[in-house]
Amino acid sequence: MKKLRLTVRTRSFVEGYFFISLWIAGFFLFMAVPLGRSIYYSFQELKMNTGRMTAEFVGLEHYRYAFTVDIDFMPILISTIKTVLIQVPLILIFAMFCALLLNKPMRGRLFFRGVYFLPVIVASGNSLKRLTEQGAATLPIFKQYDLYTIMLNYIPEQLLTPLLTMMDSLMIVMWGSGVQIIIFMAGLQSIPVSLYEAAKCDGATPWEVFWKITFPMMMPMILVSTLFTIVDSFTKVDNQMIKYNWTLMFNKLSFGYASAIGWIYFAFVFLVIFIVLFMFRNTSALAQERR
């Protein structure tokens, strides 16, 4: 009996590692080793000499340079983080709104779903960049009808300007929320109908139903899409910080400094992610338990 259990365990061990061994090998080759090397590079001055790389240890020099000498770095870092922190909640709220809209039975639901996922296909890459250059990514109403001057009569300027910049990025927000809409819709489908029926019997209003049933039940999906949105917007190619890093690497060929900058940026991204995980700590505990 004891021997049999042991074999089952060994078998599970061998088979489990058999399945993930490829991934583990990939992890070392394409993640762990590069990650370690990039930390190492960030303490080095790397120079390209006729195709060969020479390294010279400089310690924390790059980090000191980034914070004290480089006048471009800090403003870019701060503005990038600010944009991301504004956009992420907007994307999540908008995606939730769309998912709730599309979840109700209605005529042509399939068509609308197809349209709402369109951004997933188009929204990344050069095509969108070309469109933004052409001004297609800002809603035409705000320019055409001189809405700014009209609104200025009612809203003080200090409030209006940030509001309009938000509206300006609305298109970007809407176009960046395709995947999140999908995640939320899948989540909405997984909530058991019986909960809604029970709430209806107890006479709950739709508002109460949303906050007491839908929202708590969606918590794991909200966590997943928050993480996805953060990672996605921090690593987007049209992100200022990423662009700056790219310039450093390819136009100035300073690989060591680029690595250091990458690590500072990465540290901030991780800080944001940890704050999010901390805020959602009950949810992840729940998910662990359920497993």
Partner 1 sequence: MKEVHNPALQGGRLTLFRWMGATDSWQNAMVKRGNELLWKVFRYVVVFSLAFVFIYPMLFLVSQSLMRAEDISDATVQWIPKGFSLENFIFAINAMGYWSHLKNSVLMAFGGAFLQLIGCSIAGYGFARYNFPGYRIWISLLLLTFLVPPQSIIVPLFLFFSDLNWRDTYYPFLVPALFGHGLRGSLFVLVFMQTFRGLPHQLEEAARIDGAGAFRTFVSVMLPLARPAILVVFLFSIVWHWNDTFFPDFYLNQDKDYTLNQKLGYLAITNQIDSTGEEAQKSDDAIAQLPTNYQKIMAGALITILPLLILYLFTQRYFVESVERTGIAGD
Nearer to partner 1, 144 or 158 (CB): 144
Q: Which of 91, 95, 187, 214 binds partner 1 (CB under 8 A)?
A: 187
**Residue 17 or residue 67: which is nearer to partner 1 going by CB?**
17
Of 104 and 156, CB closest to partner 1: 104
Q: How many residues bind partner 1 (CB under 8 A)?
A: 95
Residue range at the interface with partner 1 (CB under 8 A); choices 35-43, 64-72, 76-84, 157-165: 35-43
Read off the tokens for 195. Answer: 């909960």
- Say whether residue 279 binds partner 1 (CB under 8 A): no
SS3 45: strand
Taking alpha carbons only, the member of 201, 242, 279, 226 closest to residue 76 is 242
Q: Which two tokens stand for residue 15?
A: 């088979």
Considering only residues 147, 163, 224, 229, which one is a binding residue for partner 1 as defined by CB under 8 A? 224
Among 14-22, 66-74, 80-88, 151-159, the segment contacting partner 1 (CB under 8 A): 14-22
Nearer CB in complex with partner 1: 29/159 = 29
CA 95 to chain centre: 13
Residues 53, 60, 198, 275: which binds partner 1 (CB under 8 A)?
A: 53
Other beta carbons within 10 Å of 172: 21
User: Judged by CB under 8 A, does residue 171 bind partner 1?
Assistant: yes
- Asked if 39 contacts 237 with a C-beta cutoff of 8 angstroms, the reply is no
3-state helix, strand, coil in the chain (%, to 5): 80, 5, 15
Nearest-angstrom CA–CA distance, 222 and 218: 6
Residue 132 exposure: Cα atoms within 13 Å on the Cβ side: 16
Stretch that binds partner 1, among 76-84, 122-130, 151-159, 160-168 (CB under 8 A): 122-130
Are the CB atoms for 231 and 272 separated by under 8 Å?
Answer: no
C-beta closer to partner 1: residue 152 or 241: 241
CA–CA dist 57, 114 (Å, integer): 54
What is the x/- site pattern for partner 1, positions 130-149, by CB under 8 A? xx-xx-xx-x----------
Decide: helix, strand or coil at residue 48. strand
**In whole angstroms, how close is the CB of 268 to partner 1 at the nearest point?**
11
Quick one: 36 or 75, whose CB is closer to partner 1? 36
CB of 40 to partner 1, least distance (A): 8
Cβ neighbour number for residue 269 with a 10 Å cutoff: 19
When asked if residue 159 is in the footprint of partner 1 (CB under 8 A), the reply is no
Among 87, 226, 229, 245, binds partner 1 (CB under 8 A): 245
Asked whether the beta carbons of 242 and 236 are under 8 A apart, the reply is yes
